Structure 1
C-alpha cells in the first residue's frame, strides 16, 4: 500500500459520527518514494484505539513497534509520535497526537506493543509526558534526583555555568597559544551573572559574534 492508501485506510477505520471524539486526519511525510510515511493525527483520547486499529492483522497489520518520541511545540503543548511497521506488508505509519502543556498525559501502548516500554520511559523522563497505565515509569537515563526535563525547550542548558570547562583549552582555542579570547556563550546557555553559583558576581559573558557576510566576486 502507498502512504496515501495507508493513511486513508486508518482514517476510515477510525471514522465515527460522534463529533465529541474529535477528527482524525492524514498527510504524507517527506522523504521521497522509499521513505515517505503516512502521518495520521488522532485526538489524544483515541491514541490507544488508533494503535489497536493499526495493529489489526486483518486491516493494516502493523505488528512491529519501531519508536516513540515527542516534540515540544511550546504553547501548543507536545506532539507525541510513534512509528509502526508491518513486517509482512512492508509499509509504515507515523501515528501522532497532541497533549497539552498543563496536563501532558496520554495512554500507554505497552499492552499493545511491549517494545514501547523503553520509549515511553525515555519520553516521560525527557519531556515530562505521563503515559497512563504504563507498568513502570522509573527513571531510565538521568541520575537519581535530577530536576527538570532536558528536552523541553524551556530547560536551561547550564552545564558550562554550573562548572568550569574540564579541558586545558576552551573549544576553538588554537595550540599556538597567544592571547586567550573571552569565551562566547553558546545558544541556550544563560549568562553566569544572571543564573548559577556566580549570579551577581561574574562579568557578563559576551554574546556570539555575527560573522561578516562572505564576499562574492
Structure 2
C-alpha cells in the first residue's frame, strides 16, 4: 500500500469530481474540497467508487457553526471526512448550508455509518438531512427546544447558592471573603 503524493492526490480528486466542487486545496497533507449541498451525494459517491480514489472508509460527519466568520460567508458547515486505505488518502468535504434553514442531502445511501452522525448534527445544530431514514434525537429529550451547539443558543441562567458551611479556620483568620 503506497501513499499518494499530496499533489497527485489533489489531481486525482479534481479529475474525479472537479465539475461538482467549488474549490480544492491541500491542508496538512489532506485534500480539502468545498461542495454545494446539491452536489454532495454525487461527490461522495465518486470519492467512494472511482477506482483511483477508493475512499471506502467513512470517518466522520460533523456540524460546524461558522456564523461569526463573516469573511468566510458565515453560516453553518457540514464537514465530512473519508479515507482510502488503499491509497492512504484523506479527503475532507466542506458543505456550507444556510444558517436560517440549514438543509443538506443525507449521505446514508453512500455511507451507512453517517446515519447517527447526521442525527447528531440535526439535533445539535438544526441541520436537516433530506432523505435521512429517521432524524430522531440521540441525546436530548424529544421536546427540547433549540439546538445547543449553535452560537446563538442561550444557556439557561444559573442561580448562585451561598456556601452552606463555615469558613476554614485559616481563611477566617486571614480576613478572606466568605
Mark yes or no: TM-score above 0.5: yes
Structure-2 residue corresponding to 1:71? 64
1:44 aligns to 2:47 (yes or no)? no
Equivalent position SS for 1:15: helix
State whether residues 37 and 97 of structure 2, in contact with CA within 8 Å, keep that contact through their aligned partners in structure 1.
yes
Computed over aligned residues only, the root mean square deviation of the Cα atoms, in angstroms, reads 2.4
Deviations 1:68-104 (A, max 9, x none): 1021121621111101011222211001111111221
More strand by share: 2
Structure-2 residue corresponding to 1:13? 16
| Closer/same/farther in 2, CA of residues 166 and 13 from structure 1, 3 Å limit | farther
State whether residues 16 and 50 of structure 2, in contact with CA within 8 Å, keep that contact through their aligned partners in structure 1.
no
Structure-2 residue corresponding to 1:2? 5
Q: Distance in 2 between matches of 1:93 and 1:41?
A: 11
Structure-1 residue corresponding to 2:107? 109
Q: Distance in 1 between matches of 2:86 and 2:162?
A: 51
Unmatched runs of 5 consecutive residues or more in structure 1: 31-35, 170-174, 181-217
Q: Distance in 2 between matches of 1:165 and 1:147?
A: 27
TM-score normalized with structure 2 length: 0.81
State whether residues 53 and 59 of structure 1, in contact with CA within 8 Å, keep that contact through their aligned partners in structure 2.
no
State whether residues 97 and 103 of structure 2, in contact with CA within 8 Å, keep that contact through their aligned partners in structure 1.
yes
Q: Aligned residues, how many?
A: 163
More helix by share: 2
| Closer/same/farther in 2, CA of residues 58 and 126 from structure 1, 3 Å limit | same
Aligned ranges 1:53-202 → 2 under 5 Å = 53-74=46-67, 76-158=74-156, 161-164=157-160, 176=171, 178-180=176-178
| Closer/same/farther in 2, CA of residues 168 and 145 from structure 1, 3 Å limit | farther
Unmatched runs of 5 consecutive residues or more in structure 2: none
Equivalent position SS for 1:92: strand
Q: Which structure carries more relative contact order (alpha carbon 8 Å, separation 6+)?
A: 2
TM-score normalized with structure 1 length: 0.67
State whether residues 104 and 128 of structure 1, in contact with CA within 8 Å, keep that contact through their aligned partners in structure 2.
yes
| Closer/same/farther in 2, CA of residues 6 and 168 from structure 1, 3 Å limit | farther
